[in-house]
Amino acid sequence: METLTSWGTAALTVIAVLLVFAYMWYRYLKPQELNKLISEPNQDQFRAEFAEELTSFPVWEKKAPPPDPELPQKYNKDYLVLMARDPNWLYAYWEITATLQHNFVRKYGEANWHQSHPVLRVYDITGIDDFNGFNANHYRDIIINEDSSDWHFDVGAPDKTFCVDLGRILPDGTFILLLRSNRVNTPRANISDCIDEYWMPIEGVYPGKGTFRYGVSSPIFYEELPVNISSPEFNIRKQ
């Protein structure tokens, strides 16, 4: 019995020693072994592989947006457009094609093209519905630059109607028409003098069935209005 007890005590002692050794190895010896495995060359290799994995992702290049399309300087079309800038100023822009210039040269000669001056002839056509180039109230000429394609000019006439001719004045004073613009009206420069003295108060629109009932719906309100009433008929009552 005593022998068994001795063997049991010895076994427990051995197991305890083994456990202590395992703990010491895990606590102190294992990190040292791991540090030996992770040597400097291996760390460099690991870092290189890690960097390669990072650079293996696709790199999206940021492309510059395409430039905005530019408006063409010319459209190869003969036109003259007139606009009202404000009550006193007008603005015109135009294009003369090579074909139109060629037609002028063929009819009047190349010398007359070079010796003539480009002119904007501004017509006041207020109150004239069938303007034909000769029945304007009055006109004035504005000499412009040879290479101009637009022009601002002062007319000093609010609430008027204008039209413009683009042409050339020959050395003898003859005006040759090239293009004619649209009609424009300059805005007013003051408050309108149109006053409607027949504007009615709500009491006149809703005549005498007692006082006006607030909150009444639109259909009921419409049924109780006088028939065919308008501003000039304010003082006219139908029997």
What is the per-residue pLDDT for 52? 55
- Looking at every residue in the chain, the average pLDDT score rounds to 78
Check whether 78 has a pLDDT greater than 90.
yes
Check: CB of residue 152 under 8 Å from CB of residue 89: yes
| Tens of pLDDT, residues 207-220 | 555 555 555 555 55
* 81, β-bridge pairs: 93
How high is the pLDDT of residue 55? 54
pLDDT of res. 237: 46
pLDDT at 119: 97
Is 229 a residue whose pLDDT tops 90? Answer: no
Quickly list H helices, the chain. 2-24, 30-37, 40-55, 98-108, 110-115, 202-205, 218-223
Higher pLDDT, 141 or 209: 141
What's residue 204's pLDDT? 62
Tell me the mean pLDDT in the region 211-239.
50
- Please give the pLDDT value at position 233: 46
